[in-house]
């Protein structure tokens, strides 16, 4: 039985873009001991593909990290299936608040060494001794305390388009890189309340335990991350302390949390918080681009990439195989070609 998608991704993407089917985008994670991640992965793929679920899922011995969308008509059945898995019976589902129903176009479930790449030796500290979870109202109250330090545990390209006011924003490319940097930044605040947040909460689960191990006594984490916070604020009519967009790792690339636009187009400097990937697949750089620049450069990051995508498809494929055609995907807005970004 086929347990992998074999349809060309361009076809899948076009099908989703043209579809009118209502889908619910959600994310969830759970740390749990999984004895045979490969078997568990195959079980999930069989169940979820039958429901038409799409998304990106990581499974490891330490648990599961899932970002998916499910057809609205099958969402109840999806929840029932989760409930049959003991450690997922009451798992919190972070449901998107700004959903265009086109967040994913294929189902990809991978077995990994870890569900989040953190570079930590989990055997060296108690990963279950986590920070205290805060709901939105408690988060708002505690972050009003002058003896509280708020820390964004996300990457630079995430916090650039949206973050909580007065938060420490580490200039990092990865979660692995952020841990030692944040530890150094917090040295002078050891006696204060340390409140961490991330997109959906998973990074803070590990980070809060790590910082408690490092001697920080008053460690807290935003329960369910920005996604859950935004939903609670909306449902309870609470003050929204988040400014801008919440970057998300799917086709949407962002959820609008407040009307404020706090970032700028990486090409012209106009106010903008719309992330995109360069249309040149040999580059695929993630960067911020306004509508005017998107039209001017055909969705590309440079005139060179703009010229490249005008070539015949077969010629593009041949050139992408050459060594000098490096994919720029991991540079995420730091390319030397983005003139305005370098001036900031």
pLDDT digits (tens, 9 = 90+) for 275-319: 999 999 888 899 999 999 999 999 999 998 999 999 998 888 888
CATH number, domain at 150?
A: 3.40.250.10
Here the tokens at position 97 are 């608040």
Query: Do residue 107 and residue 186 come from a single domain?
Result: no
The token duo for 343 is 């001036």
Q: Which of 214, 194, 192, 157 is nearest to 330 (CA)?
A: 157
150 and 225: one domain?
yes
The verdict on residue 244 lying in a domain is no
Residue ranges making up the domain that contains 31: 9-111
Kindly state whether residues 69 and 168 are assigned to the same domain: no
Whether 81 is in a domain gets the answer yes
Predicted confidence at residue 344, as pLDDT, reads 42
CB 170 within 8 Å of CB 185: yes
Please write the tens of the pLDDT for every residue from 28-62.
999 999 999 999 999 999 999 999 999 999 999 99
Backbone φ and ψ for 254, nearest 5 degrees, come out as: 175, 150
- Whole-model pTM over 0.85: yes
Domain match, 140 and 39 both: no
Q: Are residues 211 and 314 in the same domain?
A: no
120 vs 207: CA distance, rounded Å: 10
Residues 211 and 286 in one domain: no
**81 and 164 fall within a common domain:** no
| Residue 283 shares a structural domain with residue 225 | no
Map tokens 């002078």 to a residue. Answer: 188
Tokens representing 49?
């593909």
Are 102 and 127 contained in the same domain? no
Q: Are residues 193 and 213 in the same domain?
A: yes
- Between CA 334 and CA 22 the distance in angstroms is 36
Catalytic residue selected from 198, 204, 265, 293? 198
Whether pLDDT at 75 is above 90: yes
16 shares a domain with 106: yes
Whole-number pLDDT of residue 343: 45
Q: How many domains does the chain have?
A: 3
Q: Is 198 tagged catalytic?
A: yes
Kindly report the CATH number assigned to the domain that includes residue 39.
3.30.70.100
For residue 67, is it within any domain? Answer: yes
Q: Is 122 exposed, middle or buried (0-12, 13-18, 19+ CB in 10 A)?
A: middle
Domain assignment present for 79: yes
Q: Are residues 231 and 294 in the same domain?
A: no
Per-residue pLDDT reduced to its tens digit, 170-186: 999 999 999 999 999 99
The answer to whether residue 252 is domain-embedded is: no
């Amino acid at each position: 039985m086929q347990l992998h998608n074999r349809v060309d991704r361009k076809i899948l993407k076009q099908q989703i873009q043209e579809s009118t089917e209502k889908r619910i985008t959600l994310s969830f994670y759970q740390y749990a001991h999984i004895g045979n991640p490969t078997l568990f992965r195959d079980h999930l793929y069989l169940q979820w593909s039958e429901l038409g679920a799409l998304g990106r899922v990581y499974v490891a011995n330490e648990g599961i990290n899932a970002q998916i969308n499910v057809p609205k008509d099958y969402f109840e059945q999806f929840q029932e299936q989760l409930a049959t898995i003991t450690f997922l019976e009451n798992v919190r589902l972070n449901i998107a608040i700004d959903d265009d129903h086109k967040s994913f176009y294929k189902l990809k479930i991978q077995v990994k060494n870890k569900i989040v790449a953190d570079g930590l030796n989990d055997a060296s500290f108690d990963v279950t001794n986590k920070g205290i979870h805060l709901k939105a109202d408690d988060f708002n109250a505690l972050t009003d305390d002058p003896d509280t330090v708020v820390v964004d545990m996300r990457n630079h390209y995430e916090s650039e388009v949206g973050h909580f006011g007065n938060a420490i924003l580490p200039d990092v490319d990865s979660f692995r890189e952020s841990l030692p940097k944040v530890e150094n930044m917090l040295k002078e605040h050891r006696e204060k309340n340390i409140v961490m947040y991330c997109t959906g909460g998973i990074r803070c689960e590990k980070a809060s335990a790590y910082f408690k191990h490092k001697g920080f006594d008053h460690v807290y984490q935003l329960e369910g991350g920005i996604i859950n916070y935004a939903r609670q604020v909306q449902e309870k009519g609470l003050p929204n302390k988040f400014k801008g967009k919440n970057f998300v790792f799917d086709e949407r690339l962002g959820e609008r949390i407040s009307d404020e636009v706090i970032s700028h187009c990486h090409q012209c400097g106009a106010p903008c918080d719309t992330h995109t990937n360069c249309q040149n697949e040999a580059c695929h750089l993630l960067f911020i681009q306004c509508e005017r620049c998107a039209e001017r450069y055909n969705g590309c990051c440079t005139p060179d990439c703009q010229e490249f995508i005008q070539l015949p498809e077969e010629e593009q494929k041949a050139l992408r195989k050459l060594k000098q055609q490096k994919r720029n995907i991991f540079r995420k807005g730091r390319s030397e070609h983005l003139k305005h970004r370098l001036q900031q």
